[in-house]
Amino acid sequence: MATFVVGDIHGKYKQLQELLALIDFNQDKDILWCTGDLVNRGKKSLEVMQFCFDLGERFLTVLGNHDIFLLALYHGYQSNKKIPKCLADILQSAQVDDLMSWLSHQPFFHYEKESQAILVHAGIPPLSTLEECIQANNRLQAFFQSPEHSNDLKDFLCHHMMGNEPRFPDDIGSEYDDYRYFINCFTRMRYCDLKGAPRYAFKGKPSKAPSKRTPWFALPQHGILSSQQPKYSAIFGHWGTLHKQPINSPHILHLDDACAWGGCLTALCLQGCKERGYQAKQRFSVSCA
């Protein structure tokens, strides 16, 4: 049995199947993780969701910002823009209730002790400990999954989720502030200022970043990744413009190789690699051009 992690799929069903064939993925034995953003951009978003849903316990994804947007639409969020057809196909499908329930049960932040791996879509809150991130994920999952919170969840997704505040954990003043801060970090963050506050305006590559902006994983005082020899591997996606950019740490594993923009869909082998004849953390890619 091997565990593989695939980057942001974005509805690219054909490329996903090509990649799984390349790594010789066995649906009966292997496990597949994803960095989130299963949907949007690609025309086959419904097929991607159905396939991942059918993998059952063999599949795990963290939620990405596009997945959250889909959940918000499902709960009645009124977007100012026309809903993409690939998302409308999901919302109009006969399986939509089952798929949205399943999606709501996926984590925002996943930590596996055996491999010391942290899986997140965008970033790890820079001023939080591992335990605080785990607890935040537990609060979010309870909120998204509990039937008794269904009305509050709809209210939050439709009216209170958007926005960049609070910037610091110490500024959290309500449950909605708490949810928004951690969702933003987990699903949207790329850069921070030098104090560790997430900054969302700039989305480009680090070589073009404004002054006093640093990638979240390079912040010297990062609560989880700041030691000279990090204990954890941080696996994330979200950041297409980071594709082919050097990251000077073997513990920072970025997997969004811009498949949605004509780049590649990439997977790495996380566990059980040697038995399959692969190197630990070996990467595999297929073209999305």
- Domain layout of the chain by residue ranges: 3-287
Orientation of helix 65-74 relative to helix 96-104, angle to 10°: 130
Q: pLDDT tens per residue, the chain (289 residues)?
A: 999 999 999 999 999 999 999 999 999 999 999 999 999 999 999 999 999 999 999 999 999 999 999 999 999 999 888 999 999 999 999 999 999 999 999 999 999 999 999 999 999 999 999 999 999 999 999 999 998 889 999 999 999 999 999 999 999 999 999 999 999 999 999 999 999 999 999 999 999 999 999 999 999 999 899 765 578 999 999 999 999 998 988 899 999 999 999 999 999 999 999 999 999 999 999 999 9
Q: Are strands 109-112 and 117-120 parallel, antiparallel or unpaired?
A: antiparallel
Q: Which residue has the tokens 């594709």?
A: 243
**DSSP-assigned letters across all residues of 164-219:** ----SGGG--SHHHHHHHHHHHHHT--EE-TTS-EE-S--S-GGGPPTT-EEGGG-
The structure's pTM equals 0.97
For domain 3-287, say whether CATH 3.60.21.10 is its number.
Answer: yes
Beta bridge partners of 4: 32, 269
Helix (H, G, I), strand (E, B) or coil at 34: strand
Phi, psi dihedrals of residue 106, rounded to the nearest 5° = -85, 150
- Residue 226 has a pLDDT of 79
